[in-house]
Structure 1
Amino acid sequence: MESFSTRAAPPASGPKPNRPASFGEQAPHTPTRPMWFCRVDGQPWPCPEARLRLRVEFEGALPALTIYLAGMLYEAMKDLFHLNPHDGPTPQALYERFVGWTPYRRPIVEDHK
């Protein structure tokens, strides 16, 4: 007996990712968990190339970039402190690595002149 799955057409490839064309088909600079090193160059993630690509990807939505990186910071803190709770990176160092380099940072206190 022929089933529906053998008669149905294969699914289409779907939409293309909304990524800058200038990056081509290079390997993505994504983190290797739980150590949080770049898959391509082995540097602590986000490496300089990942930062550049993230800036391009989130151009026009810099608050969203900061929110995304804050989520990645949270995940990295869980992983890294689980691996090495005694002498892992400090919270300040992780903040600078993940969020501190972003261009969108609002002041803690607004100036009321």
Structure 2
Amino acid sequence: MSALTTQTHPPLGGPKADRPRAHGEEKPHTPLRPMWFCRADGQQWPCPEARLRLRREFEDNIPGLTIYLAGLYYEATRDLYRLNPYDGPGPSELFVRFVSWGPFRKDAAERPNGASRA
């Protein structure tokens, strides 16, 4: 007759994950709202790494990136104004931070071929 034992076997490893998990990886470069700082590095969002990742994600959809950035600009303006309506960043500062860095912006001095300055 065998004796009952209270020892259990260690659990098996189980199946492999079908998608990456947050633990063990770096924190994502996403905004911590309503302050709009990067969760990973604490810089103002979008931080340089977030900008690179957004450009890579939207490289085939420049109009989509434009619309996305304009929406974020609107939401950040609303959130930051609610947090501090007197000393918060102004609209032009937020425009530079959220929209003007996009790849679709051109310098005002650039002219199409054949166009002359008047």
Q: Same fold (TM over 0.5)?
A: yes
Higher helix share: 1
**Residues of 2 paired with 1:78 and 1:45: CA distance?**
15
Q: Which amino acid aligns with 2:27?
A: A
**Residues of 2 paired with 1:16 and 1:64: CA distance?**
25
The answer on 1:27 being equivalent to 2:30 is no
Instruction: Percent identity, please.
Output: 65
Question: Displacement, 1:16?
Answer: 6.3
Change (3 A) 1:86 1:71: same
Q: Output aligned runs, 1:43-58, within 5 Å.
A: 43-58=43-58
Matched residue pairs, number?
90
**Residues of 1 paired with 2:47 and 2:83: CA distance?**
21
Aligned partner of residue 79 in structure 2, secondary structure? helix
Change (3 A) 1:105 1:63: farther
Question: Displacement, 1:60?
Answer: 1.2
Q: Which amino acid aligns with 1:59?
A: E
Unaligned runs of 5+ in 1: 1-14, 18-24
Using structure 2 for the length normalisation, give the TM-score.
0.67
Aligned to 2:93: 93
Question: Displacement, 1:63?
Answer: 1.4
Q: Output aligned runs, 1:1-113, within 5 Å.
A: 25-105=25-105
Change (3 A) 1:16 1:57: farther
**Cα RMSD over matched residues?**
2.5
Unaligned runs of 5+ in 2: 1-17
